[in-house]
Amino acid sequence: MNTGKYEKVCYRTEQREENVLLRNLKSGQTGYSFGCTVAGETLQVRLPDGSLDSWQRDECTEISSEA
């Protein structure tokens, strides 16, 4: 995910209180964003099983809801 897309996802997550569906490009896992750490460029993600994880900006992508 490039910097511009990361900033948009963080804005939607933290300012508009949206949970953005993401996919981890390394593991293939999906999860919903619930926070961002701008200094470390990470996204906090809630996985389908309810557990929490933190993904680097460059290892994830938004899954489009327009499929």
Residue 63 domain-assigned (yes or no): no
Q: How confident is the model at residue 67 (pLDDT cuts 50, 70, 90)?
A: very low
**pLDDT of res. 65:** 62
Residue 67 domain-assigned (yes or no): no
**pLDDT of res. 4:** 94
Task: Tell me the CATH number at 54.
Answer: 2.30.30
Distance CA 51, CA 67 (A): 26
The residue among 2, 38, 32, 37 whose CA lies nearest residue 17 is 32
Dihedrals phi, psi of 14, to nearest 5 degrees:
-95, -30
Residue 12 domain-assigned (yes or no): yes
Distance CA 64, CA 1 (A): 13
Note the pTM of the prediction, 2 decimals.
Answer: 0.89
Virtual torsion, Cα 24, 30, 32, 34, nearest 10 deg: -40
Give the tens place of pLDDT for each residue, 14-62. 999 999 999 999 999 999 999 999 888 999 999 999 999 999 999 999 9
Residue 2: is its pLDDT beyond 50? yes
Domain region containing 15: 3-58
Residue 65 domain-assigned (yes or no): no
